[in-house]
Structure 1
Amino acid sequence: MKLLDKNNLLNRQKFDIKIIKNIPQEAGMGGGSMNVASLINFFINQKLLKIKKNELKKLTSQLGSDVILGIKPTNTILSENGDIKRYNNNTKFHTLVVKPNFGCSTKNIYSKVKSFSKPQFSFPKTKMFEVKYLKTLNNDLEKIAFKKYSKLKKIKLFLSNTHNNMFVRMSGSGSSIVAYFDSKRSCGNAYSQFKRKFSSHWCIASKTI
């Protein structure tokens, strides 16, 4: 809000903002960035903020590198140079998102990184939404997080053994783990199995948009 005021983009209007979170903190799911994106979307939709595409990109980059993903987020790929590309894609996944009763500090996890693998999204293509391709990808931060929190590795192994899962990934720097399914029924069955095994952990069945 200070940045919007500084650039006089809201005509000095003031707002009382209440944030209701549907995901836990320290889950590695970009919650803070999506808070920002949700506000920007609201201001644009209500015609309170009039901003050109190139100005919007500059604004979001000042707030966070992944904020731009929350501006019309469906089927969007963010490349390493900050450009975004959107696709018409019919691939939909049912997801089981789980988080143990502890969080991961993004700052702490990234401080342990020695090197990253070669960027995959320099030249985005529609194949990036295909299951066959997604299965080949990895989250470089998993090794670091699993070394610090052995329970995360245990949770991923459990989800990887659920029936009909397509693949399982840690989200961001953790501590949430996401299992992907091609049907609501398979996802629901995995949800029931997980809650029986890890009753104290946060867990929700969802789907991609």
Structure 2
Amino acid sequence: MGHGGERRRLQPQDGELGAAVARAQDGDETAFAVAYRIVQPSLLGYLRGIVGDDAEDVASDAWLEIARDLGRFKGDGAGFRGWTATIARHRALDHLRRQRVRPRAAALDQSVLDLPGGHSTYDQALESLSTERALEMVRALPRDQAEAVLLRVVVGLDGPAAARVLGKRPGAVRTAAYRGLKRLARHLGVPDAADEGVTDANPRTLGEST
């Protein structure tokens, strides 16, 4: 169980990831490559939502730090996803400070996700957030909402893990993610989040179990 009685949000490959990380810490370079293959897609998606086209460069910097500090990591596969997201976020914020820019706001485009007519649902909107154009739309959200959505939906972290990455309380991250997802659903023309049973007190669609 996680903080506050919330079950940890596990991903299908977390078992394989945890085993690969353990072997990599023992010096197995092939195992590190396996961990990279599992984590990189979602990590890159998260970074694209923060720094846009510079995500590849920031990810490279993050992985250099991850490789350097791997021996300090303690935890399982789910913990490794949170740890790498924290490192990536720090590198992204450093990048933004160097560039002296805030995350660029993209125009909200009704056609971003191109959801099939008659089958547009709130869940489909979430599942489509892995596309590059959709990530541009996420970047148009307020910063706290964008990061919460990215960590919860793209990286797949549970509330407490996302809160640790952002240095906030789980309740604040849950609320930010809920508001961001509801705003995305509204702009996409899918049913309102409240109609889908998603409320601050019932965040099932955000991947939390009660």
- TM-score (normalised: structure 1): 0.34
Q: Which structure has greater helix proportion?
A: 2
Tell which structure's C-alpha radius of gyration is larger: 1
- TM-score (normalised: structure 2): 0.34
Q: Which structure has greater strand proportion?
A: 1
